[in-house]
Amino acid sequence: MRKPLIAGNWKMNGSLALLERFGSALSGSALSDRVDVALITPFPYLVPALQTFRDRSVGIGAQTLNPAPDGALTGEVSGPMLQDCGVRYVLAGHSERRTLFGENDQDVSMRVTAALAHGLTPILCIGETLEQRDANRVEEVVLSQVTTVFDTLEPAERHRVIIAYEPVWAIGTGRTATPEQAQAVHALIRQRLAEYDSTLATDMRLLYGGSMKPDNAGELLAQPDIDGGLIGGASLKPDDFLSICYAAG
Ligand SMILES: O=C(CO)COP(=O)(O)O
Protein backbone atom coordinates (compact mmCIF):
# COMPACT_ATOMS: atom_id res chain seq x y z
CA MET A 1 0.00 0.00 0.00
CA ARG A 2 1.52 3.30 -1.09
CA LYS A 3 1.21 6.16 1.39
CA PRO A 4 0.27 9.40 -0.36
CA LEU A 5 2.65 12.33 -0.24
CA ILE A 6 1.51 15.93 -0.55
CA ALA A 7 4.51 18.18 -1.18
CA GLY A 8 4.25 21.95 -1.43
CA ASN A 9 6.79 23.51 -3.78
CA TRP A 10 7.08 27.15 -2.77
CA LYS A 11 9.33 27.93 -5.77
CA MET A 12 10.85 31.42 -5.24
CA ASN A 13 8.07 32.51 -2.90
CA GLY A 14 7.46 32.62 0.80
CA SER A 15 8.79 34.32 3.91
CA LEU A 16 9.46 33.61 7.57
CA ALA A 17 5.98 34.96 8.28
CA LEU A 18 4.43 32.45 5.87
CA LEU A 19 6.43 29.65 7.46
CA GLU A 20 5.08 30.67 10.85
CA ARG A 21 1.53 30.53 9.50
CA PHE A 22 2.19 27.04 8.14
CA GLY A 23 3.64 26.03 11.51
CA SER A 24 0.42 27.03 13.29
CA ALA A 25 -1.91 25.62 10.62
CA LEU A 26 -0.23 22.24 10.27
CA SER A 27 0.66 21.68 13.92
CA GLY A 28 -2.90 22.45 14.97
CA SER A 29 -4.41 20.24 12.29
CA ALA A 30 -5.84 16.77 12.58
CA LEU A 31 -3.67 15.36 9.80
CA SER A 32 -3.70 11.61 9.90
CA ASP A 33 -0.68 9.39 9.61
CA ARG A 34 -2.21 8.12 6.38
CA VAL A 35 -0.53 10.96 4.46
CA ASP A 36 3.05 12.24 4.30
CA VAL A 37 3.39 16.01 4.05
CA ALA A 38 6.39 17.95 2.78
CA LEU A 39 7.33 21.57 2.24
CA ILE A 40 9.91 22.29 -0.44
CA THR A 41 11.16 25.77 0.40
CA PRO A 42 13.80 28.16 -0.94
CA PHE A 43 17.23 27.57 0.63
CA PRO A 44 17.09 30.34 3.29
CA TYR A 45 13.93 28.83 4.80
CA LEU A 46 15.13 25.24 5.04
CA VAL A 47 16.67 25.49 8.50
CA PRO A 48 13.85 27.60 9.98
CA ALA A 49 11.38 25.11 8.45
CA LEU A 50 13.28 22.20 10.01
CA GLN A 51 13.05 24.00 13.37
CA THR A 52 9.35 24.75 12.92
CA PHE A 53 8.67 21.06 12.22
CA ARG A 54 11.29 19.55 14.48
CA ASP A 55 8.79 16.84 15.38
CA ARG A 56 9.29 15.70 11.77
CA SER A 57 5.54 15.78 11.10
CA VAL A 58 6.37 17.66 7.90
CA GLY A 59 9.35 16.60 5.78
CA ILE A 60 11.43 19.47 4.47
CA GLY A 61 12.85 19.55 0.97
CA ALA A 62 15.10 21.68 -1.23
CA GLN A 63 14.30 22.71 -4.79
CA THR A 64 17.62 21.76 -6.34
CA LEU A 65 21.20 20.86 -5.47
CA ASN A 66 24.54 20.97 -7.19
CA PRO A 67 25.79 17.45 -7.99
CA ALA A 68 29.30 18.22 -6.70
CA PRO A 69 29.90 17.57 -3.00
CA ASP A 70 31.82 20.83 -2.46
CA GLY A 71 34.12 23.24 -4.24
CA ALA A 72 34.57 26.66 -5.80
CA LEU A 73 31.00 26.96 -7.08
CA THR A 74 29.79 30.30 -5.80
CA GLY A 75 26.08 30.38 -5.14
CA GLU A 76 25.53 26.62 -5.22
CA VAL A 77 24.35 24.24 -2.50
CA SER A 78 25.44 20.60 -2.30
CA GLY A 79 23.88 17.32 -1.20
CA PRO A 80 26.13 16.95 1.87
CA MET A 81 25.03 20.42 3.05
CA LEU A 82 21.36 19.52 2.73
CA GLN A 83 21.97 16.23 4.51
CA ASP A 84 23.95 18.00 7.24
CA CYS A 85 20.98 20.28 7.95
CA GLY A 86 18.46 17.42 8.10
CA VAL A 87 16.71 18.05 4.78
CA ARG A 88 14.79 14.97 3.57
CA TYR A 89 13.73 15.63 -0.04
CA VAL A 90 15.15 17.42 -3.07
CA LEU A 91 13.50 18.14 -6.41
CA ALA A 92 15.34 17.22 -9.59
CA GLY A 93 14.30 18.14 -13.10
CA HIS A 94 11.49 20.56 -12.32
CA SER A 95 10.33 21.99 -15.65
CA GLU A 96 11.31 25.49 -14.53
CA ARG A 97 14.88 24.27 -13.96
CA ARG A 98 14.84 22.54 -17.35
CA THR A 99 13.51 25.53 -19.30
CA LEU A 100 14.80 28.56 -17.39
CA PHE A 101 18.15 27.17 -16.26
CA GLY A 102 18.92 24.84 -19.15
CA GLU A 103 19.09 21.59 -17.19
CA ASN A 104 18.98 18.59 -19.52
CA ASP A 105 18.25 14.94 -18.72
CA GLN A 106 21.91 14.30 -17.95
CA ASP A 107 22.05 17.20 -15.47
CA VAL A 108 18.89 15.87 -13.88
CA SER A 109 20.36 12.39 -13.67
CA MET A 110 23.50 13.70 -11.94
CA ARG A 111 21.34 15.50 -9.39
CA VAL A 112 19.29 12.39 -8.64
CA THR A 113 22.49 10.38 -8.19
CA ALA A 114 23.99 13.04 -5.91
CA ALA A 115 20.82 13.20 -3.83
CA LEU A 116 20.82 9.43 -3.35
CA ALA A 117 24.51 9.44 -2.48
CA HIS A 118 23.81 11.84 0.37
CA GLY A 119 20.79 10.17 1.90
CA LEU A 120 18.20 12.49 0.35
CA THR A 121 14.99 11.40 -1.36
CA PRO A 122 14.93 12.81 -4.88
CA ILE A 123 11.59 13.81 -6.36
CA LEU A 124 12.19 13.42 -10.08
CA CYS A 125 9.95 15.79 -12.05
CA ILE A 126 8.94 14.88 -15.58
CA GLY A 127 6.31 16.06 -18.01
CA GLU A 128 5.59 17.09 -21.58
CA THR A 129 5.00 20.53 -23.06
CA LEU A 130 1.74 21.40 -24.80
CA GLU A 131 3.50 21.20 -28.15
CA GLN A 132 4.68 17.67 -27.37
CA ARG A 133 1.18 16.64 -26.23
CA ASP A 134 -0.38 18.07 -29.37
CA ALA A 135 2.15 16.10 -31.43
CA ASN A 136 1.13 12.88 -29.61
CA ARG A 137 4.56 12.57 -28.04
CA VAL A 138 3.54 12.28 -24.38
CA GLU A 139 4.56 8.65 -23.95
CA GLU A 140 7.89 9.06 -25.73
CA VAL A 141 8.86 12.24 -23.83
CA VAL A 142 7.79 11.16 -20.38
CA LEU A 143 9.19 7.63 -20.57
CA SER A 144 12.50 8.87 -21.92
CA GLN A 145 12.74 11.33 -19.01
CA VAL A 146 12.27 8.36 -16.66
CA THR A 147 14.63 5.96 -18.38
CA THR A 148 17.54 8.35 -18.86
CA VAL A 149 17.65 8.66 -15.09
CA PHE A 150 16.63 5.15 -14.04
CA ASP A 151 18.97 3.36 -16.44
CA THR A 152 21.94 4.89 -14.60
CA LEU A 153 20.78 3.82 -11.12
CA GLU A 154 21.41 0.64 -9.19
CA PRO A 155 18.24 -1.41 -8.51
CA ALA A 156 18.18 -0.48 -4.80
CA GLU A 157 18.62 3.20 -5.64
CA ARG A 158 15.59 3.18 -7.95
CA HIS A 159 13.40 2.24 -5.01
CA ARG A 160 14.37 5.44 -3.18
CA VAL A 161 13.11 7.82 -5.87
CA ILE A 162 9.72 9.53 -6.03
CA ILE A 163 8.43 10.60 -9.45
CA ALA A 164 6.25 13.66 -10.02
CA TYR A 165 4.41 13.88 -13.33
CA GLU A 166 3.89 17.56 -14.04
CA PRO A 167 2.58 18.35 -17.53
CA VAL A 168 4.28 21.66 -18.33
CA TRP A 169 1.06 23.10 -19.78
CA ALA A 170 -0.70 22.60 -16.43
CA ILE A 171 1.92 24.32 -14.26
CA GLY A 172 0.77 27.66 -12.91
CA THR A 173 -1.81 27.96 -15.68
CA GLY A 174 -4.95 26.98 -13.78
CA ARG A 175 -5.46 24.39 -16.51
CA THR A 176 -5.13 21.07 -14.76
CA ALA A 177 -4.90 17.70 -16.48
CA THR A 178 -8.18 15.84 -16.21
CA PRO A 179 -8.06 12.92 -13.78
CA GLU A 180 -8.24 10.60 -16.80
CA GLN A 181 -5.35 12.31 -18.60
CA ALA A 182 -3.19 12.22 -15.47
CA GLN A 183 -4.11 8.62 -14.64
CA ALA A 184 -3.26 7.49 -18.18
CA VAL A 185 0.27 8.89 -17.95
CA HIS A 186 0.80 7.57 -14.41
CA ALA A 187 -0.25 4.10 -15.59
CA LEU A 188 2.26 4.30 -18.45
CA ILE A 189 5.04 5.28 -16.06
CA ARG A 190 4.15 2.43 -13.74
CA GLN A 191 4.21 -0.03 -16.64
CA ARG A 192 7.66 1.18 -17.57
CA LEU A 193 8.84 0.79 -13.97
CA ALA A 194 7.56 -2.80 -13.99
CA GLU A 195 10.08 -3.52 -16.75
CA TYR A 196 12.86 -2.79 -14.22
CA ASP A 197 11.20 -4.83 -11.49
CA SER A 198 7.65 -5.50 -10.45
CA THR A 199 8.02 -4.32 -6.85
CA LEU A 200 9.41 -1.02 -8.13
CA ALA A 201 6.15 -0.51 -9.99
CA THR A 202 3.96 -1.44 -7.05
CA ASP A 203 5.97 0.49 -4.43
CA MET A 204 6.90 3.73 -6.16
CA ARG A 205 4.95 6.86 -5.32
CA LEU A 206 3.90 8.79 -8.42
CA LEU A 207 2.76 12.34 -7.67
CA TYR A 208 0.74 14.56 -9.96
CA GLY A 209 1.60 18.27 -10.22
CA GLY A 210 0.04 21.11 -12.21
CA SER A 211 -2.69 23.40 -10.88
CA MET A 212 -3.75 20.95 -8.18
CA LYS A 213 -6.16 22.84 -5.90
CA PRO A 214 -8.63 21.96 -3.14
CA ASP A 215 -11.46 21.69 -5.66
CA ASN A 216 -9.79 19.21 -8.02
CA ALA A 217 -7.46 17.33 -5.63
CA GLY A 218 -10.04 14.75 -4.53
CA GLU A 219 -10.74 13.53 -8.05
CA LEU A 220 -7.08 13.44 -9.04
CA LEU A 221 -6.00 11.66 -5.86
CA ALA A 222 -8.77 9.09 -6.28
CA GLN A 223 -7.07 7.73 -9.40
CA PRO A 224 -5.45 4.34 -8.79
CA ASP A 225 -1.96 5.36 -9.93
CA ILE A 226 -1.83 8.87 -8.42
CA ASP A 227 -0.18 8.71 -5.01
CA GLY A 228 -0.06 12.36 -4.06
CA GLY A 229 0.61 15.81 -5.37
CA LEU A 230 3.35 18.33 -5.96
CA ILE A 231 1.61 21.60 -5.31
CA GLY A 232 2.78 25.03 -6.44
CA GLY A 233 0.39 27.97 -6.07
CA ALA A 234 -1.91 26.31 -3.55
CA SER A 235 1.06 25.49 -1.31
CA LEU A 236 1.40 29.19 -0.49
CA LYS A 237 -2.00 29.23 1.23
CA PRO A 238 -2.06 27.16 4.42
CA ASP A 239 -5.82 26.51 4.25
CA ASP A 240 -5.70 25.34 0.62
CA PHE A 241 -2.65 23.20 1.25
CA LEU A 242 -4.28 21.60 4.27
CA SER A 243 -7.44 20.87 2.29
CA ILE A 244 -5.36 19.01 -0.27
CA CYS A 245 -3.62 17.07 2.51
CA TYR A 246 -7.02 16.10 3.93
CA ALA A 247 -8.17 15.02 0.47
CA ALA A 248 -5.17 12.67 0.34
CA GLY A 249 -5.39 11.24 3.81
O1 LIG B 1 5.15 23.26 -10.61
C2 LIG B 1 4.37 22.86 -9.76
C3 LIG B 1 4.84 22.20 -8.54
O4 LIG B 1 6.17 21.85 -8.66
C5 LIG B 1 2.91 23.08 -9.93
O6 LIG B 1 2.65 24.41 -9.78
P7 LIG B 1 1.12 24.92 -9.73
O8 LIG B 1 0.43 24.07 -8.68
O9 LIG B 1 1.20 26.36 -9.34
O10 LIG B 1 0.55 24.69 -11.08
Q: Is 127 in the pocket of ligand 1 (CB under 6 A)?
A: no
128 in active site = no
pLDDT for 1: 81
Atom of ligand 1 nearest to the CA of 173: 10
- Each residue's pLDDT tens digit in the chain (249 positions)? 899 999 999 999 999 999 999 999 988 788 878 999 999 999 999 999 999 999 889 999 999 999 999 999 999 999 999 999 999 999 999 999 999 999 999 999 999 999 999 999 999 999 999 999 999 999 999 999 999 999 999 999 999 999 999 999 999 888 889 999 999 999 999 999 999 999 999 999 999 999 999 999 999 999 999 999 999 999 999 999 999 999 998
**Whether ipTM exceeds 0.90:** yes
- DSSP string computed for 153-170: S-HHHHTT-EEEE--GGG
Quick check: is 186 catalytic?
Answer: no
Q: Which of 96, 118, 166, 186 is catalytic?
A: 166
- The three-state DSSP-derived secondary structure of 167-220 is CHHHCCCCCCCCHHHHHHHHHHHHHHHHHHCHHHHHHCCEEEECCCCHHHHHHH
| Atom 3, ligand 1: residue with shortest CA distance | 232
Q: Give the CATH number of domain 5-248; options: 3.30.300.90, 3.30.365.10, 3.20.80.10, 3.20.20.70.
A: 3.20.20.70
Which mutation among 230, 236, 241 tests ligand 1's pocket best, with the greatest number of atoms within 8 A of CB?
A: 230
Given ligand 1 and candidates 9, 12, 244, which is best to mutate, with the most ligand atoms within 8 Å of its CB?
9
**pLDDT at residue 151, as a whole number:** 97
pLDDT of residue 152: 96
Tell me, using a 6 A CB cutoff, whether residue 232 lines ligand 1: yes
Cα–Cα distance for residue pair 75/149, rounded to 1 Å: 25
Ligand 1 atom with the shortest distance to the CA of 230:
3
**Residue 64: what are its φ and ψ, rounded to 5°?**
-165, 175
Ligand 1, atom 7: closest residue by C-alpha: 232
Q: Is 211 annotated as a binding residue?
A: yes
- List Cβ neighbours of 26 (8 Å cut-off, separation of 6 or more): 37, 53, 57, 58, 238, 242
Query: Annotated binding residue at 233?
Result: yes
Domain boundaries, the chain: 5-248
From the list 91, 100, 175, the residue with the least C-alpha distance to 130 is: 175
